[in-house]
Amino acid sequence: MILKKYLFGSAILLPLSVPSLTLAQGIEEILVTARRVEESLQAVPIAITALSSGDLEKRNIHNFEQLQYNVPALNFAQSLTRSGVRLQLRGQSAAYASDYPGVDTLFAEVPLTPTGSATLYDLDSIQVLKGPQGVAFGRNSTGGAMLISPKKPEHAFSAYFSGGIGNFDHNSTEAMVNIPLIDDKLALRIAGNMEKRDGWTRNIGTGNKLDEKDYKSIRASLLFAPTDAIENTTIFSYDTIDTRGSSNHLVAYNPAGTAATLYNPALGLYPGPGSFNEYAEEAIALGRDKIHLDYEGYIDQDNRFLSNTTIFQLNNSITLKNIFGVQQRRGGNGTNMGGVPLPLIHLGVNGPGGEPSSRLYSDELQVIYTGMDGRLSWVSGVYWSKESRVKDGIPGETVTVGGLVISAGSSFRDSESDVRSVAPYSQIRLPLDFIAEGLSLTLGARYTWDERDVKTFSETGGIGSFPGGVSTNSVSGEWSDWNWEVTANYQINDDTLVYLAHRHGFKGGAFNPTAVDPSLVLVEPEYVDDVEIGLKWDWAVNEIYGRINAAYYYQWYEDIVRTTYFIESGTSFALNFNSAEAIIQGGEIEALVQFTPNFTLSGYYSYVDSKIDSTDANTPVLVTKVADVPQHKVGLTAEYRMPVGDSAGDLLYNITGYYQTERYSDQAAVSRQSKFDGYALMNANLTWQNVMGHPLDITLFVNNAFDKEYLLGGADLYNDFGFVQSLYGEPRTYGVKFRYAWGAE
């Protein structure tokens, strides 16, 4: 531990003792908008990883799983149906049964609903900001924010078409056309993609393939600039998912647990054939590519997104900006969490009668001021959102536990919820040149009111001596608190920045709407305080150019929310508790060395040490680890460009290697059986660019080149029902794709 701290400290202090080396025209400048004004990445006192459209294309990053291999401290876990995404930064993710994310994801500056995900195509950039956010934009968060920026319409014609094929009968198509409608006034950009692939996991019970892909998406963007001072951008997107369910594998089990007791023919509760323990042994032996399920689940959803952003430049210093968004999700999904051919835990959620299952409205008004040649900046705003969700339980697909305890088809639960948030915020950056040239101070604050109302309607059929019935529960809650930031940064010279930051953040709590004890209904928010010290340093020696960005942080993580499950009087239910406090500390180093204009090495190392500091005496949940957090992550990318010949184009080689150490599953582990092994992957791409002088690129790609078996995440139910469930990462995939462009694209 001491050695790691010394290494990070040395990396930060090293440039203070080394003469400044002027960076010439070597490494391309990266512009980011972390503080709502456009700045160089190297001038912003925040740990940021920024990937341009070129980076995304060269590294074949088209989903969040691939993205995590290129961003230090970012971890990814798919939802149980593989249709949603849970992101984690520095040990922070969404709290259990909470509507408030630990890592906020914004698409075109609109915070996405926690149940939604963006489609990663035709993008301008992805910026990942680390540490508590919310004093300069959007929704508050404790772990960080991901800013996904789609490409905007331009006032020149351009277009491209791409397609690809691969193993598992994979085929994909992507296209874009950008049309200037009125010179320098009105432009339209339309892009879309389709992806289809057979599943790679066979259910030996039915012969069907699970984990398939069948996605379609279209996006239209309209840019209207009637004057030099006014710009309005409207974006509409529509995407659909229609697939069979995902393969939620059972990877560990308790031979004396609840599931083993319920499904033990010797006890007479379950007639067989086969016991839970026998099926669990079979499930583990089947491995990644096979599974045995009685219920496969499904994904049948469509998502709509609409945003409208208006920018009004009052003068050279003051800008007004309004960002409005509407998101809507229809359809449903179902999954078998048990991983065995027994009605252990089946989940299914639908919007009733085809109505939207969720709808989110948001609006954000900003005032941005810049002065003193950009050294002084100030942003103030108000964020507002309202989300409504409706869930319609389907008999046999809602929570189904244990054959004769709650038989399939005998219960259902409907629910309605409204989540509202209002938050004014302000951030100012002050130059302190009168103390030392290059010194500045950033101050920010936000006050957030979060409200949530939940109404549930439950009907349970009678079982034996347990009577059935209908129940209705309505609960409401409010959470409000401050976020703040104090950051001092010192621009030592043109190439070197150091900073020290302190931030405080929180995310709204959760509910136990069915709790009999009133004191258990409301669950308090999670809180995070952190201190971060960082360095950003560009250097050059002869014709070799380099960049080193490093940060070390220390977090105090309080009121961690965890869920535990109970079975009482023939009914299963879950309760959420503020269960523990933790200390999370770590660091990140990102480095890039450009040896020649055609050869570049880039990589990163991140270290996260999480430790449960104390456990709440009132919780029945014994949290042992902050989960989904590999202690070590390493990524390395080599890029080499080789000219083929005069007017014949270039060959671009891009190879990315990735390694992470073991971690615990779920969001807060409660058993040692939920520890997942570490793994290493390699992805490679070979692109022939501008084939024979034409605007045609042909790419050969392979992901998970050595076909490693690894687990992405899951649910730790070992102490509740007696098993641990998980999703495997994708096997080796490979193929070829081409891209042809027209115009100035």
DSSP string computed for 180-201 = EEETTTEEEEEEEEEEEE--SE
Pairing of strands 201-203, 290-291: parallel
pLDDT recorded at residue 471: 64
**Residue 392, helix vs strand vs coil:** strand
For 508, phi then psi, to 5°, come to -55, 155
pLDDT recorded at residue 459: 57
Sequence-ordered list of residues with C-beta below 8 angstroms from that of 545, at least 6 positions apart, any chain: 23, 24, 26, 27, 538, 539, 593, 594
Residues in the chain, total:
745
Q: Are 341 and 292 in contact (CB under 8 A)?
A: yes
Q: Are 173 and 204 in contact (CB under 8 A)?
A: no
The DSSP result for 281-348, as a single string, is HHHHHH-SSEE--S---EEEEEEEEEEEEEEEE-SSSEEEEEEEEEEEEEEEEEEE-S-SSSSS-EEE
What Cα–Cα distance (Å) separates residue 180 from each residue in 152, 332, 678? 12, 39, 50
pLDDT recorded at residue 512: 75
Q: Which of 252, 309, 248 is nearest to 277 (CA)?
A: 252
Q: Which of 391, 326, 324, 323 is nearest to 360 (CA)?
A: 326
Q: Are 401 and 344 in contact (CB under 8 A)?
A: yes
pLDDT recorded at residue 573: 61
224, with CB counted inside 10 A (0-12, 13-18, 19+), is middle
Question: What gap in Å lies between CA 506 and CA 419, rounded to an integer?
Answer: 16
CB atoms closer than 10 angstroms to residue 306: 15
Does this model's pTM top 0.85? yes
**Residue 254, helix vs strand vs coil:** coil
pLDDT recorded at residue 73: 87
What Cα–Cα distance (Å) separates residue 167 from each residue in 171, 393, 619, 734? 9, 37, 49, 6
**Residue 673, helix vs strand vs coil:** helix
Question: What gap in Å lies between CA 423 and CA 576, rounded to an integer?
Answer: 26
Neighbour-count burial for 720-742, b at 16+ CB within 10 Å, e otherwise: bbbbbbbbbbbbebebebbbbbe
Tokens, residue 741: 């462009």
CATH of the domain at 279: 2.40.170.20
**What secondary structure letter does DSSP report for 18?**
S
What Cα–Cα distance (Å) separates residue 104 from each residue in 31, 111, 574, 606, 686? 20, 7, 26, 20, 34
**Residue 686, helix vs strand vs coil:** strand
Cα of first residue to Cα of last residue in the chain, in angstroms, is 49
- CB half-sphere exposure, 691, CA atoms < 13 A: 11
pLDDT recorded at residue 458: 62
pLDDT recorded at residue 336: 83
pLDDT recorded at residue 18: 36
Q: Which of 571, 547, 546, 576 is nearest to 559 (CA)?
A: 576
Position 730, amino acid: E
**What secondary structure letter does DSSP report for 477?**
E
Question: What gap in Å lies between CA 485 and CA 528, rounded to an integer?
Answer: 12
The DSSP result for 63-87, as a single string, is SHHHHHTTSTTEEEEE-TTSSSEEE
Tokens, residue 729: 């990462």
Number of domains observed in the structure of the chain:
1
Q: Are 472 and 456 in contact (CB under 8 A)?
A: yes
CA angle 68, 70, 72 (to 5 degrees): 75
pLDDT recorded at residue 514: 65
pLDDT recorded at residue 15: 39
**Residue 734, helix vs strand vs coil:** strand
The DSSP result for 46-61, as a single string, is S-EEEEEHHHHHHTT-
- CA dihedral 82→106→556→80, nearest 10 degrees, is -10
**Residue 236, helix vs strand vs coil:** strand
Domain range spanning residue 460?
2-743
CA angle 140, 143, 149 (to 5 degrees): 70
Position 216, amino acid: K
What is the mean pLDDT, run by run of 10 residues, along the chain of 745 residues?
A: 41 37 61 86 93 90 87 76 72 74 91 71 94 91 92 96 96 97 97 94 93 93 97 96 87 90 80 87 94 86 94 95 94 81 72 65 96 89 90 43 35 68 96 94 95 72 45 79 96 96 90 72 90 97 95 94 64 72 94 95 95 78 77 96 89 96 77 89 96 95 96 82 89 96 82
**What secondary structure letter does DSSP report for 667?**
S
Position 634, amino acid: V
Q: Find out whether the peptide bond into 273 is cis, omega within 30 degrees of 0.
A: yes
Q: 649 pairs with which residues across the strands?
A: 645
Q: 357 pairs with which residues across the strands?
A: none
**What secondary structure letter does DSSP report for 621?**
-
pLDDT recorded at residue 716: 83
CB atoms closer than 10 angstroms to residue 252: 21
The DSSP result for 480-526, as a single string, is EEEEEEEEEEEEEETTEEEEEEEEEEEE--EE-TT-SSGGGTEEPPE
